[in-house]
C-alpha cells in the first residue's frame, strides 16, 4: 500500500490533510484500517499489537472515525495491516514487533504474518520498507532486522 492510498482512506473517512498530518506527527506509530466486507475496519491483531506497543511507551495512533469497525478474525494469521513508523523510533519499534511475533510463534509454530511497513521522518518523507509481506515469522524477522540495521 502506497502512502497515497493511506491519504485516500483518510479522505474517505472524512479526515482532511491537516488532520492526517497531525495524526502522523503526534504519534510514533500509525495503524491503517483495512477495507473488509465493504467497510473500513481494524482487525483484532492490529488492536493487539497497538496495545503491546502502547505498553512499551510507544504512542500509537489510528486513522478512524466512529464508523470504523473492529473485526475479530477467524484465522490465526497475525494481520498487522499497514503500519506507519516514525523514523525516530524505528529501531525500538522493530525490536518490539520482533518480540511480539516471537511470542506469537511460541503459541503456534505455524503462524503467518501479513503486513506492509512504511517509515516517515519529521519532514513527512515517506518510504515503503516492506510491501505486502505475507509469510512465516522467521522470514519476517529476518526482513525487519535488516530494516533495523540500515
What is the binding site for another protein (CB under 8 A)? Answer: 37, 41-42, 44, 47-48, 50-51, 54-55, 60, 62, 69-77, 103, 106-108, 110-112
Q: How far is CA 86 from the centre of its chain?
A: 11
Task: Write down the least CB distance from residue 82 to another protein, Å.
Answer: 16
Question: Of 76 and 132, which CB lies nearer to another protein in the complex structure?
Answer: 76
> How far is residue 38 from each of residues 7, 12, 87, measured CA to CA in Å?
18, 13, 33
CB of 74 to another protein, least distance (A): 4
Crossing angle of the two packed helices 3-12 and 17-26, in degrees rounded to 10? 120
Nearer to another protein, 32 or 147 (CB): 32
CB of 29 to another protein, least distance (A): 11
Nearer to another protein, 38 or 123 (CB): 38
Q: Which residues contact 150 (CB under 8 A, 6 or more apart)?
A: none
| Residue number with CB closer to another protein (75 or 142) | 75
Minimum distance of another protein from residue 150's CB (angstroms): 29
72: closest CA among 103, 47, 98?
Answer: 47
In what helix (H) or strand (E) does residue 39 lie, and over which residues does it extend?
strand 39-43
Nearer to another protein, 16 or 54 (CB): 54
Q: Are 33 and 111 in contact (CB under 8 A)?
A: no
Q: What angle do CA 127, 5, 63 make, to 5 degrees?
A: 90
Q: How far is the CB of 73 from another protein (least distance, A)?
A: 6
Amino acid at each position: 500500500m502506497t502512502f497515497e492510498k493511506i491519504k485516500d482512506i483518510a479522505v474517505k473517512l472524512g479526515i482532511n490533510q491537516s488532520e492526517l498530518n497531525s495524526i502522523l506527527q503526534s504519534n510514533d506509530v500509525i495503524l491503517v484500517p483495512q477495507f473488509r466486507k465493504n467497510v473500513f475496519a481494524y482487525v483484532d491483531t492490529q488492536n493487539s499489537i497497538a496495545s503491546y506497543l502502547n505498553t512499551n511507551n510507544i504512542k500509537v495512533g489510528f486513522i478512524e472515525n466512529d464508523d470504523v469497525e473492529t473485526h475479530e478474525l477467524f484465522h490465526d494469521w497475525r494481520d498487522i495491516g499497514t503500519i506507519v513508523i516514525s523514523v525516530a523510533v524505528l529501531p525500538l519499534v522493530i525490536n518490539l514487533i520482533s518480540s511480539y511475533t516471537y511470542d506469537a510463534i511460541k503459541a503456534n509454530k505455524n503462524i503467518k504474518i501479513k503486513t506492509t511497513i512504511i517509515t516517515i521522518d519529521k519532514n513527512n518523507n515517506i518510504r515503503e520498507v516492506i510491501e505486502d509481506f505475507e509469510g512465516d515469522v522467521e522470514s519476517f524477522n529476518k526482513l525487519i532486522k535488516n530494516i533495523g540495521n540500515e
